[in-house]
Structure 1
Amino acid sequence: MKHALTILILLVGWSAAAQELVEFRGVERSGYYNETGLLKRWPENGPRMLLKIEGIGKGFSQPILADGKIFVTGIKEDTLDILSAYTLNGEMLWDVAYGRSWTASYIDSRSTPTFCDGKLYVVSGTGQVNCIDGNTGKIIWQVDAIKKYAGSIHTHGDSEAPLLVGDLVVYTTGGEAYTMVAFNKNNGNLVWKTKSLGGNKSYASPTLIRHNSKPIILVQTAENFIGINPENGVLLWSHNLMQYHLNSSGKGGNTNPPLYHNGEIFVTSGYDHPGLMFRLSEDGKSISLKWRNDVLDNHHGGVVLLDGNIYGANWTNNSNGKWASINWETGETNWEQDWINKGSIISADNMLYFYEEKRGNVALVEPSPEKLNIVSSFRIEDGAGPHWAHPAIYNGTLFIRHGDVMMMYDIQAN
């Protein structure tokens, strides 16, 4: 699988321009981090902790490292989402309230900020979209997008990480008025709106792919999987996902960014929804279902693709799950095995990293289509609540967030 560099070439006015982009789940939101020279085995008690920062606020979002600073969201006050910036020594540079948090269920902050050229783009749990100066913490612009564009948030709040496409910030509203809106990233002015197919917005963040040199935004609402032309917001195609949601549990809960490779797209969520592989037409204006797999129904921890195989955890129920691997080309299950509990997954330097959600165990895993191969593991002891934040890797450092505590571990080989 070929991955883009963290410096991505995007379309600005539909001409090439370079942007420094750091976002949720690494390169192209695929769970892949473009890091090399990492440890292939950890010490018995885990890698050396470089830094622990407490009091970052309650949250399930992923920290990011950009412009020599650590950025992370969390709730430090009862009903406000807060974005904070820290030095690499753990000193807080600034924090700023950027919107109302979700208070109906699981109130912790959800949105991972997207960094581009000195600015951060982040969404509150109730759908306020922000552009924030990365040096000062000043809010440059804010749009209450759910309220202004009649959006509709699913059961557990807005978890979207804003997607940047050239000069655009695109955001999923859901609802009966529109599916998605796009703002000018510099001033927050509306650029385009996509017609609605009905249904709430889902938990999954949108992704940008390039199919035969054509950019396409991939969007999941609670009901549909949709392709959108980023130039004008025109809907290219849609596929109804609700037809696969046969159980009342998690109905409409589409949870994970899709994976794209060689003209094909894999989509998964939990709740016994099957994993689905779609094939894009050559012109990108239609999709067809290639295969379905009933084993890898990832809850909300993401999946990764390595050497032709997909890896991730599956869903037994909201509290339990196993780990599995399936073949990208055929959809056949390579293996399904127990390891403590389900959780999130990322990859770097041809290794997998598991972060188990109930007890906080972290594992270094050698990818294999033959069996689950745990090389090393340790347990996160700090923080409180479910271990739902996805891990991240920057500059040879593993970032783990648990509740209001963030930890950084040295995983660079000497």
Structure 2
Amino acid sequence: MSKSKSRSKQPRPGARVEPAPPAEPRSLWPPRRLVISLCSLAAAAAMVRAGLLEPVVGGVVDGAVRNILTVILGFSALMSAVLWFVRESGHSPAWKRGLAFGLLGLVALGLATLRVERVSGNLVPEFRWVWQKSRDTLLARAVALPQVANAAPWQPAPHDFPRFLGPAGDASLPASAPRLASVWKKDQAPRELWRRPIGAGWGGFATCGDHAVTLEQRGDEEIITCLSLASGEPQWQVAVTARHQTVLGGAGPRSTPAIHDGVVYTAGATGWLFCVDGATGKVLWKKDVLADLGIDAAAHALAVAWGRAGSPLILGDVVVVPGGGPRGDGPVALVAYDRATGERRWNAGDDQISYVSPSLFEIGGKPFLVAVTESQVIGFDPASRDEAWRFPWPGHSNSDASCTQAVVIGPNRLFISKGYGIGAAAFDVEPGADGAWTVKEAWRNKAGMKTKFTNVAFHDGHLYGLSDGILECLRASDGKRMWKGGRYDQGQLLRVGDLLVVQSEPGDVVLVEATPEAHREVARLTALSDQTWNSPAIVGDRLLVRNAVEAACYQLPLRTGAAAADHAVPAGGALPAAETPPSAEPAPEHVEEKPAV
């Protein structure tokens, strides 16, 4: 049957054969369907950038994810247009081949000549030529500075900044700290005292008297550097051969030193713990924490992908740092070493570490050693090191990591926050009838206080922090957002009285009123000019800032009146004796509210 049908379709001998109609010429312009598709992709990208995608997906999308989605949508639009041009357009084959080979050549040239040096907090890459060396490798290596014979031990000063996030480790200076002027006038503006190049790293300064100590990376050396607070001149340096570097995390150490009784304790990005005499720069002892705990360094680098960032905590006669893993009998949350000898005294906890420093809090009238680990917030009895309670706080130290310190916001209440769509939560720690401690969630705000690797300050019942790069105020009692405004990207902050000192990621230092009423930026200083993830330090009227390129010290104007004069730092760098601040503070100058940046 099929053969007869096939024969019937053959033309009869001598019959006229009609020529096939000519093919419709291909258009030089894209068809309507492609234009609609490209417009749809552009609209989707605009929605992502504006944050309008969150109601669609039913969750919080952070800035880094928005940037990734924008790149994917943009690449899809570009490839759609290129494929149409090459395969379906009416342009000549020469034009098509030229575009295809031109794009391939540009991609090949870029891969051959460019490298991603690092990324911003929202995953915006910074490119460098492949033949360019990293900036920290161009700096001189550590030098052995002449030691002063019989150097006097360091003496603390009233407004020292001896550890990460200040004297109490809570991103708030004590009430006795000098009050900063809330208006910077032309005749009363911050004054730059010194500026100097510095190696890579994301840690801050710790100070004692005229001495400011920080960690930096220069080539293959991780260096502890002590500078004069008054002049910025180096006083001593201690180096160890170690380097941590990733594209997402950058290069260098991440922690801030701790200074206690004139002795400096530092924790490096690869696990080196140092104890150094502050007066002479002499190494009293050092310990490779990973080797001491039997942890394989390569496996640890995969599990804790962006370098060890926990700063040391002084607890009696021991110094406490994060432990780590993996190891044969499970990870260690915290490890303590004898301050005098460097011998390991104890381990605590069985969860992988995060990028948060250990803290000592008083909760319910009892002290607790608190560790924010990879997936928990754990409270330990400081005397017995036994676990007293834990609060689940999901995450992974090689992806959605925890980087934000817990904050005490009530007699029995702790606040915790992070980025990656998790947000903020508060929980209560209460003693039970049988002596055990119970933990109960008080509130949760998934859209609030999405701190990525910044920290939060608590003041007068409210919390202040950078939520995915935008400053935000939450009410501590229930987590309600009071306001959100001012884009400072993934920076850091400190609270000084009723002012927030915000170190923005681009380098500006900004003063913002610590009030739940509204976002009020009152002053701004271009302090640094490069990506800054480092926490600032404030010592009297001195502001210490740094990033992975440079460090600087500014003298800040104080509020007028006797209180300001009493708390100013003399030119020589030594601080005056502490005095009780007056009960009646001068009324702050009137400031007009500035629009959000």
Q: Evaluate the alpha carbon distance shift between residue 356 and residue 177 of structure 1 in structure 2; reply closer, same or farther with a 3 A threshold.
A: closer
Is 1:68 matched up with 2:210?
yes
Alpha-carbon shift at residue 372 of structure 1 (Å): 0.5
Q: Which residue of 2 aligns with 1:109?
A: 253
Give the whole-Å Cα distance in 2 for the aligned partners of 1:67 and 1:378.
25
Give the whole-Å Cα distance in 2 for the aligned partners of 1:254 and 1:226.
13
**Where do 5+ consecutive residues of structure 1 fail to align?**
1-19, 316-320
Q: Which residue of 2 aligns with 1:12?
A: none
Q: Which residue of 1 aligns with 2:556?
A: 411
Q: Evaluate the alpha carbon distance shift between residue 167 and residue 280 of structure 1 in structure 2; reply closer, same or farther with a 3 A threshold.
A: same
Q: Which residue of 2 aligns with 1:318?
A: none
Q: 2:464 aligns with which of 294, 298, 311?
A: 311
Alignment of 1:195-214 (within 5 A): 195-197=349-351, 199=352, 201-214=353-366
Is 1:29 matched up with 2:176?
no
Q: Evaluate the alpha carbon distance shift between residue 99 and residue 332 of structure 1 in structure 2; reply closer, same or farther with a 3 A threshold.
A: farther
Is 1:156 matched up with 2:313?
no
Q: Identical aligned pairs, as a percentage?
A: 24
Q: Evaluate the alpha carbon distance shift between residue 82 and residue 46 of structure 1 in structure 2; reply closer, same or farther with a 3 A threshold.
A: farther
TM-score normalised by length of structure 2: 0.60
Q: Which residue of 2 aligns with 1:15?
A: none
TM-score normalised by length of structure 1: 0.86
Q: Which residue of 2 aligns with 1:4?
A: none
Is 1:84 matched up with 2:225?
yes
- Check conservation: 1:222, 1:252, Cα contact below 8 A: no
Is 1:51 matched up with 2:193?
yes
Q: Which residue of 2 aligns with 1:236?
A: 388
Give the whole-Å Cα distance in 2 for the aligned partners of 1:68 and 1:89.
9
Secondary structure in 1 matching 2:232 = coil
Q: Evaluate the alpha carbon distance shift between residue 403 and residue 43 of structure 1 in structure 2; reply closer, same or farther with a 3 A threshold.
A: farther
Q: If you compute each CA radius of gyration, which structure gives the higher value, 1 or 2?
A: 2
Tell me which protein shows more helix as a share of its residues: 2
Q: 1:364 aligns with which of 511, 524, 529?
A: 511
Q: Which residue of 2 aligns with 1:38?
A: 180
Is 1:132 matched up with 2:271?
no
Q: Which has the higher contact order (CA 8 A, sep 6+)?
A: 1
- Check conservation: 2:425, 2:441, Cα contact below 8 A: yes
Q: Evaluate the alpha carbon distance shift between residue 349 and residue 36 of structure 1 in structure 2; reply closer, same or farther with a 3 A threshold.
A: farther
Cα offsets for 1:231-288 (capped at 9, x unmatched) = 232111222211xx5xx99744100111113221111111111211111113683322
Cα offsets for 1:123-171 (capped at 9, x unmatched) = 1111111111111111111111122214545110011110111111111
Cα offsets for 1:57-76 (capped at 9, x unmatched) = 22211112213211111112
Q: Which residue of 1 aligns with 2:4?
A: none
Cα RMSD of the aligned pairs, angstroms, is 2.2
Alpha-carbon shift at residue 412 of structure 1 (Å): 3.7
- Check conservation: 1:391, 1:400, Cα contact below 8 A: yes
Q: Which residue of 2 aligns with 1:174?
A: 324
How many residues are paired up?
380
Tell me which protein shows more strand as a share of its residues: 1
Alignment of 1:217-232 (within 5 A): 217-232=369-384
Letter in 1 for 2:227: Y
Letter in 2 for 1:168: V
Alignment of 1:384-403 (within 5 A): 384=530, 386-403=531-548
**Where do 5+ consecutive residues of structure 2 fail to align?**
1-159, 561-597
Give the whole-Å Cα distance in 2 for the aligned partners of 1:99 and 1:225.
33
Q: Evaluate the alpha carbon distance shift between residue 239 and residue 349 of structure 1 in structure 2; reply closer, same or farther with a 3 A threshold.
A: closer
Question: Which one is further off, 176-185 or 276-285?
Answer: 276-285
- Check conservation: 2:161, 2:539, Cα contact below 8 A: no
Cα offsets for 1:168-215 (capped at 9, x unmatched) = 111111322422111111111121112413x3x111111111224422
